[in-house]
Structure 1
């Protein structure tokens, strides 16, 4: 942890990061390991995710809240998926060996949706591909701007807008198939 703390200048941010580290490191490892199925790669993903969290530390206000947990889970998921993709390019691994943890996403990151009574929408969002659901959750559940989402996901702002638009279309189709009218 001292390596991470050396990257942070203010003592308030150091304290905030220590609390994040203590509260979320095991959750982050679990999420990364569920995607990568390799403890060493999961540790690498958690390390890279902590660096991204340090870069975005100003976006975290309250440590123990669903918004923060969702933010951290999305960062570690995206980092683990990036590592998986790099590894897949190097070695051929059957796709069915990788489980992206839709149940954990629905149970953890979408909790704020469920708290307002939209568990059907949360379930539908969990059914979206990860690139769409991440952008939608960051935008509508966590309130980040397109620019902030682009930085978090390491993509362009235009790509963020496209993912959100495409995700909304897919979400509407999923809700239609589930026979849920969001306009009631």
Structure 2
């Protein structure tokens, strides 16, 4: 049985390069990809007791999820910082007016949409969130989820159609 430090060392040997490649695909920046790998290993350290075998498929999937999460967190931070650089109060007013014009002005409307998204199958919700919330392209989502671009496009269209139907029917109300 490996100690936690031996397990961590083995995890690093097995997954560091793959994790870096995954982070770089998302972030397109060497330094930030390295930061994401570091953040991911810090997160992994708190779950060492759950890792039985560093070589197992379960551990591999866990490591992929952790690095994706760490890289997406950095991506989100970048987006927020970028948006703050170009913050214009007039734009906020215009966006609020457009939102109100579309009938999305009440908390209840936002809750209906949120419930619809939560009711979606995970594979559809994940694509919808990556596309709409993170602004990733079909290509980027395909690399992140390790599926084809065609699969991403089909899941995105289905997710939109299902969510719109649920909202329209009141299924999620």
User: What TM-score does the superposition give when structure 2 sets the normalisation length?
Assistant: 0.52
Structure 2 distance, partners of 1:88, 1:99, is 19
Match of 1:13 in 2: 4
RMSD: 3.2
* Structure 1 residues not aligned, in runs of 5+: 1-10, 108-122, 129-169, 174-184
Matched, 1:35 2:26: yes
Match of 2:14 in 1: 23
Q: Is the 8 A contact 2:25 2:140 kept in 1?
A: yes
Deviation for aligned residue 1:106: 3.3
Q: Is the 8 A contact 1:37 1:98 kept in 2?
A: no
1:34-183 aligned within 5 A: 34-92=25-83, 95=135, 100-103=140-143, 105-106=145-146, 127=155
- Decide which structure has the larger Cα Rg and report it: 2
Structure 2 distance, partners of 1:98, 1:53, is 29
Task: Render the CA deviation track for 1:38-93: whole Å, top value 9, x for unaligned.
Answer: 0100111110000000011111111112211110011110111011111111114x
Q: Is the 8 A contact 2:68 2:144 kept in 1?
A: no
Alignment coverage as a number of residue pairs: 105
Q: Is the 8 A contact 2:23 2:71 kept in 1?
A: yes
* Structure 2 residues not aligned, in runs of 5+: 84-133, 163-173
